[in-house]
């Protein structure tokens, strides 16, 4: 019930195209869904995140779409650039909003469960 499934494993896009990466989760207690970008030899860096009270969030060329009933969310990268070539990870966890304790009901809030990653290559 803690799994987060990510697809595709790898993606090749032409410069200027749209990159789409999908994730599905099982645990309905998850209410925080971030996307991380990781370059070789570096740690993951937070790109954008969404909570289930909205269906879409946009920051620059990056958009998260969220479907609560289907328990799915996706990352769209518009006008993809060669500099976007990296590994992308979706993740899911319990939101730390409010005064909810870090460890309640068997769930550790703040803890993230990551997908398997998508290697994105953007060709010039």
Partner 1 sequence: EAGVAQSPRYKIIEKRQSVAFWCNPISGHATLYWYQQILGQGPKLLIQFQNNGVVDDSQLPKDRFSAERLKGVDSTLKIQPAKLEDSAVYLCASSPSGVNEQYFGPGTRLTVT
Concatenating the DSSP letter of every residue in 30-70 gives --BEEEEEE-TTS--EEEEEE-TT-SEEEETTEEEEEETTT
**Per CB under 8 A, 22 contacts partner 1:** no
Residues 31-90 binding partner 1 (CB under 8 A) are: 32, 34, 36, 41-46, 49, 89
Smaller CB separation from partner 1, 42 or 68: 42
**Per CB under 8 A, 23 contacts partner 1:** no
Q: Rounded to whole angstroms, how far apart are CA atoms 54 and 38?
A: 26
**Per CB under 8 A, 113 contacts partner 1:** yes
Q: How many Cα atoms are found within 13 Å in the side-chain-facing hemisphere of 63?
A: 13
List contacts with partner 1 (CB under 8 A).
4, 6, 32, 34, 36, 41-46, 49, 89, 91, 93, 95-96, 102-103, 108, 110-117
């Amino acid at each position: 019930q803690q799994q987060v499934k990510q697809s595709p494993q790898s993606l090749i896009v032409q410069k200027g195209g749209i990159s789409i990466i999908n994730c599905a989760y099982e645990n309905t207690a998850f209410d925080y869904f971030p996307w991380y970008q990781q370059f070789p030899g570096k740690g993951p860096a937070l790109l954008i995140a969404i909570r289930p009270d909205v269906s879409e969030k946009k920051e620059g060329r990056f958009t998260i779409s969220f479907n609560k009933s289907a328990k799915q969310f996706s990352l769209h990268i518009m006008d993809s650039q060669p500099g976007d070539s990296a590994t992308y990870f979706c993740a899911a966890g319990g939101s730390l909003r409010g005064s909810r304790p870090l460890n309640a009901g068997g769930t550790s809030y703040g803890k993230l469960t990551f997908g398997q990653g998508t290697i994105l290559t953007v060709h010039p």
